[in-house]
Chain A
Amino acid sequence: MLENFQLGLQVFITLPNILAVFIGVTAGIFVGAIPGLTATMSVALLVPLTFTMSPVTGLAMLIGVYKGGIYGGSITAILINTPGTPAAAATALDGYPLAKKGKALKALKMAIYASVMADTFSDIVLILVATPLAIVALKLGPPELTTLLILALTIVGLVSGKSLVKGLLVASLGVLFSTVGMDFMTGTPRFTFDSLEMAKGFPLIPVLIGLFAIPEILVQVEEKVRGTETVVLRKSPREEDNRVNFQELRGCSKTIFRSAIVGTFIGAIPGIGSVISSFISYGMAKRGAKHPEEFGYGSLEGVAAAEAGNNAVCGATLIPLLTLGIPGDSVTAVMLGAFLIQGLVPGPELIPKHPDVIYGLFVALMVANIANFLIANVGIRFFARVASVSKTIVFPTVAILCVVGSYAVENSLFDVKSMLFFGIVGYFMRKFDFPIPPFLIAFILGPMVENPLRQSLMISAGLSIFTVGWRQIKGKASGP
């Protein structure tokens, strides 16, 4: 592990990589601060831009965007009570009252401290857990992988929606869409309508750009867009309201630590995500607080709990992705796409096969935390002003980026058309309250289940996958 770390450091510490992380974090906070543009969406839009970069550089940039985006959402949550990203909704509960009392800068700084501390904790857990878990996962053959992935499919279907049936329905639909194209084992064309382009199947990156970015644009256009509220960051005349002093930070440290544990735990379970984590952390902080009556009326501890809760998810969601190849939420599903276009297949073999990339990525996570801290501190005023950029400019530009980004991956206009098609699908799913993440995750996992399932049925000559799986595990456990 230590020598791997050394390797990771050697791979990562180059000027382009460090620059990529800083650019990523800046872009992430920038986009996160604009209400309506989520962290998932910004990562999805930037994935096509990373595939000409080296794997470490590209992934490091996306990690930066993710972390920055989750923090950036808190800026407008605190200043104008409009969470920039859904994950910051809990931050607004106490952040906005604090801003009204003239303590906006204090709240923003607390958000930075809590975010970065919890994020670092989560990353350390990821680094400690990932390699041992991957070693265990490596012992799994196709039968065990199938059962594991089917389990993942059901978890995703169960947890992601308010309605169980809707989640499962959407997941089945995702599997159906994933079967489009040439079958990989027999070469049978499925749902291709005799089109050569359809034989490739639907391309992943355009699909996720369509699902996450287009619905957002369409929802915005439904009503005539009004210019965005002007966001002003007022500095308090009392200097102590503009910063977080050591006593306050120490007072909140217990809350931050608790939220970091909650967020890490939730992040490691596929399918829950940062929104729920921030609310659970907030609720727990309220119950454990000395002054629970202050919560909702401008408690600094509330801001710390919510922000620590949502940022602590960042590192931990990578645990199931890197070790088992299971994306835990929509952002990691998008990250999975980023791994795939680099030719890296997330799963048990990823860490043993590419220790340089993965440990480089681990170092990138840490550097991203430092970058997040520095850039957020220096740029507070600038990012607050960004939030007032007019929506009439932001959304049309994003629409153009969707088209160009989808085109860029394979220089194919079919990809762009797929993007628009899935954008419409995503819009209707949003309108009728169907959750999008189960669809995307099933779309990605579909072939991953089908492939080993059919392989293991061939290995066992049609016997149940369970018997074979059980024998293999037993055989390996008692073997040398």
Chain B
Amino acid sequence: MEIQELMRYDASTGLSPSVFPKLSLFLIGLFSALLIFSGLRSKEAIAREDRETLKMGSGTRVVITLIILAAYIYLISILGYLVATPLALGLLMWYFGERRWLLILSVAILATTGISVFFRHVMYIILPEGILFP
């Protein structure tokens, strides 16, 4: 039986390092199967799932936000924090629906410098400076 093999004990090293990952994978499989089983049995649950898939409709906006964030993380290491942050922050605010340009500009600049000053002088952490502007 799989579970017996899984818990096999080795006197020299104790429990094998693979036991916990295997055990949790086994449990994930078990509970997933239970979830699918109970989902198929209950009609009420099926109706609810339908509604939930409908709620997922606006996925593109989520994906675009994630792409902006991923691009920001990538650009930090190249352009550096001080350049990448106002760009990302401004873009995100615009994408979230803010259309007052002056506000976007001032928040982008103030937040970027504020965070930078706080990290540098209070926490003594230098945020990435990038490779373009050494």
Nearest-CB residue, chain B, relative to A446: B20
Chain B residues with CB under 8 A of A247? none
A185 touches B52 (CB 8 A): no
B62 touches A218 (CB 8 A): yes
Chain B residues with CB under 8 A of A427? 62
A404 touches B115 (CB 8 A): yes
The answer, yes or no, to whether B134 is at the interface (CB within 8 Å) is: no
The answer, yes or no, to whether B1 is at the interface (CB within 8 Å) is: no
Contact of B20 among A173, A179, A220 (CB under 8 A): A179
A457 touches B69 (CB 8 A): no
Chain A residues with CB under 8 A of B35? 163, 165-166, 169
Once A191-B21, A393-B103 are accepted as A-B contacts, the answer to whether A176 and B28 lie under 8 Å apart by CB is yes
A424 touches B38 (CB 8 A): no
Please give the distance in Å from A415's CB to the nearest CB on chain B.
Answer: 10
A397 touches B14 (CB 8 A): no
Please give the distance in Å from A399's CB to the nearest CB on chain B.
Answer: 6
> How many residues of B are in contact with the other chain, CB < 8 A?
54
Please give the distance in Å from B72's CB to the nearest CB on chain A.
Answer: 7
The answer, yes or no, to whether B96 is at the interface (CB within 8 Å) is: yes
The answer, yes or no, to whether A420 is at the interface (CB within 8 Å) is: yes
Chain A residues with CB under 8 A of B119? 404, 408
Residues 372-418 of A at the B interface (beta carbon under 8 Å): 390-393, 395-397, 399-401, 403-404, 407-408, 411, 413, 416-417
Contact of B93 among A392, A446, A462 (CB under 8 A): A392
B115 touches A453 (CB 8 A): no
Please give the distance in Å from A458's CB to the nearest CB on chain B.
Answer: 4
Once A225-B97, A392-B96 are accepted as A-B contacts, the answer to whether A186 and B13 lie under 8 Å apart by CB is yes
Contact of A172 among B28, B61, B96, B125 (CB under 8 A): B28
Nearest-CB residue, chain A, relative to B66: A424
Bound CA span A169–B28, Å: 5
A454 touches B15 (CB 8 A): yes
Residues 440-465 of A at the B interface (beta carbon under 8 Å): 446, 450, 453-455, 457-458, 461-462
A400 touches B111 (CB 8 A): yes
Chain B residues with CB under 8 A of A183? 17
- Classify the secondary structure of B's interface with A: helix
B21 touches A176 (CB 8 A): yes
Contact of B28 among A173, A186, A223, A395 (CB under 8 A): A173
**Highest count of chain B CB atoms <10 Å: which of A172, A420, A446, A457:** A172
B21 touches A453 (CB 8 A): no
Chain A residues with CB under 8 A of B98? 390, 392-393
Contact of B24 among A176, A223, A390, A432 (CB under 8 A): A176
The answer, yes or no, to whether B34 is at the interface (CB within 8 Å) is: yes
**Highest count of chain B CB atoms <10 Å: which of A173, A396, A455:** A396
Contact of A222 among B11, B61, B122 (CB under 8 A): B61
The answer, yes or no, to whether A431 is at the interface (CB within 8 Å) is: yes
Contact of A217 among B58, B65, B103, B127 (CB under 8 A): B65
Please give the distance in Å from A472's CB to the nearest CB on chain B.
Answer: 18
Q: Mark A292-315, 1 if CB is under 8 A from B, else 0.
A: 000000000000000000000000
Please give the distance in Å from A149's CB to the nearest CB on chain B.
Answer: 13
Nearest-CB residue, chain B, relative to A183: B17
Nearest-CB residue, chain A, relative to B96: A392
Bound CA span A408–B76, Å: 13
Bound CA span A480–B21, Å: 41
Once A165-B31, A217-B65, A420-B70 are accepted as A-B contacts, the answer to whether A190 and B14 lie under 8 Å apart by CB is no
The answer, yes or no, to whether A54 is at the interface (CB within 8 Å) is: no
B97 touches A226 (CB 8 A): yes
Q: Mark B84-100, 1 if CB is under 8 A from A, else 0.
A: 01001100110111100
Listed A/B pairs (11) with beta-carbon separation below 8 Å: A165-B35, A169-B35, A190-B17, A190-B18, A218-B65, A395-B92, A396-B89, A399-B69, A417-B73, A453-B15, A461-B11
Which 10 A-B residue pairings sit nearest by Cβ, starting from the closest? A396-B92, A392-B98, A169-B31, A183-B17, A172-B27, A176-B24, A462-B9, A458-B14, A188-B17, A175-B24
Contacts beyond the supplied A186-B13, A454-B15: 16 A-B pairs with Cβ under 8 Å? A163-B35, A166-B35, A168-B27, A190-B17, A190-B18, A224-B61, A224-B97, A392-B93, A396-B96, A403-B73, A413-B73, A413-B128, A424-B66, A446-B24, A455-B14, A462-B11
